[in-house]
C-alpha cells in the first residue's frame, strides 16, 4: 500500500513540476513578445505634496518686501548673551523693563563665554551685533525665533519676530512712519492703515506700539480687536542715543529707527486664524486648510 501511495505522489509531483515550468516559460515568452518597458514614463506622484508653513510663507514675504526696500538680512544666535539681549539695549540688570519679557535663562552667572545667557526674548540683540560689526549707513532686517514664558491664544512660548534697523544721517520719525506704512501695504494690500501709540521700550526714544487695521472686521470693530478696529503687531521707535553710544556711534552725527514685528501675528491676521497655537501643533487638518 505504502509503495503504491509513494508512486502516485511521485507521479503527481512530477506532473505539477512540469506544468509549473511550462507556465513559467510561457510567461517569460509572453513578456518578451510584449512591447518593451517604457523607462521614460513619469514616476508616480506622492499623494500629499508638502507646502510652506503659513509662518514660513509670511517670513519669506516680509524679507522679500524689505529686500526691495534696500534691507539686507542679518543673523544672530537664538541662545544669546544677556549683554546683547538686555544690557547693550539699555536694560541693565535690575532694570524693571526686563520684567516685560519673561525670560528663559540658560546660565545666570559668570564672565566671558560663560557669562549669563538667555534664550533671546526678541530679535533686537541683532541690532547690536550688526552695528558693532560695521559703520553707518546701515539697513538690516533679521527674522528668527524668539522665546518667552508666555502661553495663551495670542502668545506662544516660541514665536517669530523680524527686526528692522536703519541708521544713517538725519533719520527721522517721518522715515519710520513712511517705512511702516509701505511695509504694511506691501504685506496686507491696499486699504490697511497703521496707527502709532506712544509706548516705552528702553532702547528707543520716542517709542511706539504700532497697530494695523483688524483683518477680521476691516476696522469696524469685532471680538478679535476688542471693538477697536486695530490689532497690535509691532514695537518701534528711534534708536536711543545711549544704544548708539554703546556701539561706538556718535548720536550727534547719526540717528536711526528700528522696529520689531511679530511674524506669527501677521500670519494669523493674514490667514484669519484666531488662535496662534494652531500654527505649532502640527495638526494636518488645520495646515491643509492654509
Q: Which residues of the chain form contacts with ligand FA5 (CB under 6 A)?
A: 101, 122, 124, 148, 150, 155-156, 159, 161, 201, 204, 207, 232-237, 258-260, 262, 264-265, 276
DSSP character string of 24-60: HHHHHHHHHHSPPP-TTS--PPPSS-----HHHHHHH
Nearer to ligand FA5, 20 or 172 (CB): 172
Residue whose C-beta lies closest to ligand FA5: 262
Nearer to ligand FA5, 143 or 262 (CB): 262
Smallest separation, CB 36 to ligand FA5 (Å):
59
Nearer to ligand FA5, 144 or 260 (CB): 260
Smallest separation, CB 200 to ligand FA5 (Å):
10
In angstroms, rounded to a whole number, what is the distance separating the alpha carbons of residues 57 and 108?
36
Smallest separation, CB 89 to ligand FA5 (Å):
8
Smallest separation, CB 161 to ligand FA5 (Å):
5
Q: Helix, strand, or coil here: 156?
A: coil
The total number of residues shown for the chain amounts to: 290
In angstroms, rounded to a whole number, what is the distance separating the alpha carbons of residues 77 and 146?
10
DSSP character string of 91-103: --TT-GGGGGS--
Smallest separation, CB 173 to ligand FA5 (Å):
13
Nearer to ligand FA5, 45 or 130 (CB): 130
Smallest separation, CB 245 to ligand FA5 (Å):
17
CA distances from 5 to 2, 15, 18, 19, 168 (A): 5, 15, 20, 21, 104
Q: Which of 276, 248, 269 is nearest to 88 (CA)?
A: 248
Nearer to ligand FA5, 116 or 235 (CB): 235
Nearer to ligand FA5, 116 or 160 (CB): 160
Q: Which of 70, 69, 71, 257 is nearest to 173 (CA)?
A: 257
Smallest separation, CB 231 to ligand FA5 (Å):
9
Nearer to ligand FA5, 117 or 156 (CB): 156
Beta-sheet strands, E only, within 83-137: 105-107, 117-119
- Interhelix angle 54-68/263-271, rounded to 10 degrees, is 110
Which residues does residue 209 pair with via DSSP β-bridges, in sequence order?
197, 235
Amino acid at each position: 500500500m505504502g509503495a503504491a501511495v509513494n508512486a502516485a505522489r511521485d507521479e503527481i509531483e512530477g506532473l505539477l513540476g512540469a506544468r509549473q515550468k511550462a507556465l513559467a516559460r510561457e510567461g517569460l515568452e509572453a513578456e518578451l513578445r510584449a512591447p518593451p518597458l517604457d523607462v521614460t514614463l513619469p514616476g508616480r506622484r506622492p499623494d500629499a505634496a508638502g507646502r510652506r508653513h503659513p509662518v514660513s510663507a509670511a517670513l519669506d514675504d516680509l524679507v522679500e518686501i524689505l529686500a526691495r526696500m534696500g534691507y539686507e538680512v542679518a543673523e544672530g544666535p537664538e541662545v544669546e548673551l544677556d549683554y546683547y539681549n538686555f544690557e547693550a539695549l539699555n536694560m541693565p540688570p535690575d532694570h524693571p523693563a526686563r520684567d516685560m519679557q519673561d525670560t528663559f535663562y540658560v546660565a545666570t552667572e559668570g564672565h566671558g563665554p560663560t557669562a549669563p545667557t538667555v534664550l533671546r526674548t526678541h530679535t533686537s540683540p541683532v541690532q547690536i551685533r550688526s552695528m558693532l560689526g560695521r559703520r553707518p549707513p546701515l539697513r538690516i532686517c533679521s527674522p528668527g525665533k524668539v522665546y518667552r514664558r508666555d502661553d495663551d491664544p495670542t502668545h506662544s512660548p516660541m514665536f517669530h519676530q523680524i527686526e528692522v534697523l536703519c541708521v544713517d544721517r538725519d533719520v527721522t520719525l517721518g522715515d519710520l512712519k513712511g517705512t511702516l506704512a509701505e511695509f504694511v501695504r506691501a504685506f496686507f494690500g491696499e486699504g490697511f492703515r497703521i496707527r502709532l501709540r506712544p509706548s516705552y521700550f528702553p532702547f528707543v526714544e520716542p517709542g511706539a506700539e504700532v497697530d494695523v487695521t483688524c483683518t477680521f472686521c476691516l476696522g469696524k470693530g469685532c471680538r478679535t480687536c476688542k471693538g477697536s478696529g486695530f490689532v497690535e503687531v509691532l514695537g518701534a521707535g528711534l534708536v536711543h542715543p545711549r544704544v548708539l553710544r554703546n556701539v561706538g556711534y556718535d548720536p550727534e552725527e547719526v540717528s536711526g529707527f528700528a522696529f520689531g514685528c511679530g511674524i506669527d501675528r501677521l500670519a494669523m491676521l493674514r490667514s484669519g486664524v484666531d488662535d496662534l497655537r494652531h500654527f505649532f501643533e502640527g495638526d494636518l487638518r488645520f495646515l491643509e486648510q492654509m
